[in-house]
Amino acid sequence: MVNMALFGKPKYTIVRVAKKKDMPADLWTRCPDCAQLIYNKALEENLRVCVKCNYHFTMSAWDRIKSLTDENTFTEMDADMHSVDVLKFKGVKSYLDKIREDSIATSLKEAIVTGKSKMDGKPLILGVTDSRFIMGSMGSVVGEKITRAIELATKEKLPVIIVSGSGGGARMYEGILSLMQMAKTSAAIARHNEAGLLFISVLTNPTMAGVMASFASLGDIIVAEPKALIGFTGPRVIEQTIHKKLPEGFQRSEFMMEHGMIDIVVHRKQLRETLNRLLGYLN
Ligand SMILES: [Zn+2]
């Protein structure tokens, strides 16, 4: 917010900051795309989509599950599985401190919730990552939970939907152990696919790196929310590496759809209906 204010006229900057200080932070949210102030209640009622410009804010895993499934049909799998610090990782924060911090902030044990549920009466296996938990990154537990969920779907001949939102990709705190989850989740999806079953991957802002390079890009159908950042390496790093300006909209859902990586871009309000229709046609 402060950085944005720097680009405005100094006079207005002072007024804006002063106003913001008087404003209870838990009542209003400023849209990062159009800078509109949105009353939090209105934002929640609008499925966390900006009322002015349709910017899609990140959504918690449980809110997403609630928005996609029939009431009281979600049975969570592996709810108590949690990460251990095998590598004794020490950075600015230790891995265990980071897990503890994000667990308290999100009331989650890990960056994904998986389970069996129903969507308009149709049974399915659903996994939803939560980008508030270590950027939705995939460590051993996220990889294992996804794999177990897909394996249950294969056994019970059910379709799988995974909603991804991970700016973190493979979790650096777990080094090569997190990279191995890419192969493991991909192998589970391959077996699900060999059994002739449907996997729909839903990409939300942002889905990057090791998550995009494994299960998230392996959907029979790949659906994305509007303007979501989707790719492997971020645009800034690519630009610095190739010393060229990237095209407008590079790595956004719409751009990725034009270039064949994504099948359909769907507004959050139409997501459930679209998924439901796809399950009905193809399952
Ligand atoms: Zn907006």
Per residue in 40-67, pLDDT (tens digit) is 999 999 999 998 898 999 999 999 999 9
Please give the Cα distance from 154 to 136 (Å, whole number).
25
pLDDT at residue 2 above 90? no
Please give the Cα distance from 226 to 266 (Å, whole number).
6
How far does residue 56's CA lie from ligand 1's centre (Å)? Answer: 8
Q: What integer pLDDT is reported at residue 107 of this predicted model?
A: 92
Q: If you average pLDDT over residues 79-95, what whole number do you get?
A: 87
Residues with CB under 5 A from ligand 1 (ion): 31, 33-34, 36, 50, 52-53, 55
Cis peptide, bond prior to residue 206, ω within 30 of zero: yes
Band of pLDDT at residue 149, cut at 50, 70 and 90: very high
How far does residue 57's CA lie from ligand 1's centre (Å)? Answer: 9
How far does residue 130's CA lie from ligand 1's centre (Å)? Answer: 21
How far does residue 51's CA lie from ligand 1's centre (Å)? Answer: 7
How far does residue 175's CA lie from ligand 1's centre (Å)? Answer: 37
HSE-up of residue 214 (Cα within 13 Å, Cβ side): 26
How far does residue 66's CA lie from ligand 1's centre (Å)? Answer: 24
- DSSP label of 107: S
Please give the Cα distance from 78 to 96 (Å, whole number).
20
Show Cβ contacts of residue 6 under 8 Å, excluding neighbours closer than 6 positions. 13
How far does residue 105's CA lie from ligand 1's centre (Å)? Answer: 25
Higher per-residue confidence, 93 vs 22: 93
Q: Considering the entire predicted model, what is its pTM?
A: 0.86
Which candidate, 261, 276, 4, 46, places its Cα nearest to that of 159?
276
Rounded mean pLDDT of the chain?
89
Kindly report, residue by residue over 181-214, the tens digit of the pLDDT.
999 999 999 999 999 999 999 999 999 888 898 9
Please give the Cα distance from 280 to 283 (Å, whole number).
6
